[in-house]
Amino acid sequence: MAPRSFWKGYLKLSLVTCPVAMTPATTENEKVRFHTLNRKTGNRVVSRYVDAASGKPVDEDDEVKGYQRGEDDYVLLEDEELESVGLESTRTIDIEMFVPADSIQWIWYDKPHFLVPDDPVGEEAFSVIRDAMESTGTVGVSRLVMYRRERAVMLEPRGKGLVLWTLRYGDEVRDPEEAFGNLDGKNDPKLMNLVTRLIEERSKPWSPDMVSDPVQARLLEIISAKKKGRKRPAKAKAEAGEQPSNVINIMDALRKSISSERKKKKKS
């Protein structure tokens, strides 16, 4: 069953407009979630805002956003003031510009969403915009209010639809030179050859099973056992592996690694 759209609006390019629907490209619906309960009564615990000084509960009408400018000193902002800085229209993705598809690095990508036409009449306009981006090797850049914030978004063609990525803000992305600037980056060609061979030995086709969640599976086992009134499964013992040691000769270590990988392949 196709996922339900959580946003509907319009895709606009100059004078061309078509209705679209959007759904998140990822989901956490299958994740195990817990509620906090009162062990004595079995009732759920409800969280409330309390005054940090008096400890008394704060009514919802008395809650207000504050920007800290000093110790115990805040600038208060009302809901109307926060809303005034948002986009006038939250339902139109107006493509303002196009950039080469490979010019926006992965680090700027935030959350992916699937975008599809929302009626048969607008499907032609949607497909023309999509295919034109595909043929020119470009992606569209626009702005949109999502998750109660104005976001820059990128639209890229993907199959029969578009993927809309929310993009991180400029002050959220650090300069990689801060982390990598002091690294030498030079390598011994012989070592490079050995590591390349090791990579080739370990290369295999991508599969979603590579990113399965073992903790999730274990939790489901425990919950299933408790539902049936059985004792929870015994805690799995971690296999004792060899403790890493300070490698003095990296060349010998790489040769041993390659030999070990080949032995594993022969056994399998």
Contact 118, 19 (CB under 8 A): yes
167 — pLDDT class (breaks 50, 70, 90): very high
Calculate mean pLDDT across residues 17-42.
Answer: 89
Q: How large a percentage of the chain has pLDDT more than 70?
A: 90
> For 249-265, how does the pLDDT look when each residue is reduced to its tens digit (9 = 90+)?
777 887 888 888 777 77
Least confident of 86-100, 143-157, 175-189: 86-100
How many other C-beta atoms can be found within 10 angstroms of the C-beta atom of residue 117?
21
Question: Per-residue pLDDT for 136 more than 90?
Answer: yes
Q: Is 155 exposed, middle or buried (0-12, 13-18, 19+ CB in 10 A)?
A: buried
**Tokens in use for 74?**
């805040």
Going from the C-alpha of 230 to that of each of 33, 149, 187, 216, 221, the distances in angstroms are 21, 47, 56, 19, 11
Crossing angle of the two packed helices 189-202 and 250-267, in degrees rounded to 10: 20
* 67, 75 Cβ separation under 8 angstroms: yes
Euclidean distance between CA atoms 216 and 209, whole angstroms: 13
Fill in the amino acid letter for 247.
V
> Count of CB atoms within 10 A of residue 84's CB?
8
Distances from the Cα of 149 to the Cα of 27, 78, 97, 172, angstroms: 20, 16, 21, 15
Q: Could you give the domains of the chain? A: 7-26+85-167 (2.40.290.10)
Is the pLDDT assigned to residue 33 strictly greater than 90? no
